[in-house]
Amino acid sequence: MKRNTVWIASFTASVVIGIALLVAGSPTVAANDQPSAANAEVKIDNFVFGPQTITVPVGATVTWTNKDDIPHTTVSTDGVFKSEVMGTDETFSFTFTKAGTYSYYCSVHPKMTGTVVVQ
C-alpha cells in the first residue's frame, strides 16, 4: 500500500508539472537571440572575390581562400589588413574588431575588388 501511495504522489506531481508547462508555454528562442556567425568565407575564383560584398558582426573572422590557379592577395584600401601572395588553396584570415566598411582589392590584379561590411 505504501508503494502505491508513493507512486501515485510521484505520478500526480509529474502531471501537475506537465500541465503547468503546457499552460505557461515552453520557452522559445527568436532568430535574433541566436549568436551571430563569427566566421565568414570569401572564395577567390575566376579572378573574382565571392561574395563581392559580405556583411559580418564585429568580432567576426573572415577567411579568403584562393581557388584560382593564379596567385592573388587581399589588401584593404585603408591599410587595415594585407595578405601575403596566396597560391591555389591557400588562405588568409582577418578578425574585424571595429564596425565599418572595409574595401579591399588584389594587389596582383587591382581590378579585383570586394567589400566587408562590419556591423
Q: What is the pLDDT of residue 113?
A: 98
Residue 110 has pLDDT above 90, yes or no: yes
Residue 12 has pLDDT above 70, yes or no: no
- Quick one: 56 and 24 in the same domain? no
- What the block records as the C-alpha cell of 87 is 597560391
In this prediction, residue 13 carries a pLDDT of: 43
CB atoms within 10 A of CB 107: 14
Q: Are residues 16 and 49 in the same domain?
A: no
Distance between CA 42 and CA 51 in Å, rounded?
6
Same domain, 74 and 109: yes
pLDDT digits (tens, 9 = 90+) for 22-48: 444 433 333 333 334 579 999 999 999
Give the pLDDT confidence score for residue 67 in this predicted structure. 98
Are 21 and 64 within one domain? no
Query: 68 with 109, same domain?
Result: yes
Q: 93 Cβ partners below 8 Å, 6+ apart?
A: 61, 62, 63, 64
Specify whether 86 is located in the same domain as 64: yes
Calculate mean pLDDT across residues 88-97. 98
Query: Does residue 88 share a domain with residue 51?
Result: yes
Same domain, 45 and 13: no
Whether 54 and 110 share a structural domain: yes
Domain that holds residue 6: 2-28
Looking at residue 1, its pLDDT comes to 52
Q: How many domains in the chain?
A: 2
Using omega within 30 degrees of 0 as the cis cutoff, is the peptide bond preceding 110 cis? no
| Per-residue pLDDT band at 10 (split at 50, 70, 90) | very low
The answer, yes or no, to whether residue 89 has pLDDT greater than 80, is yes
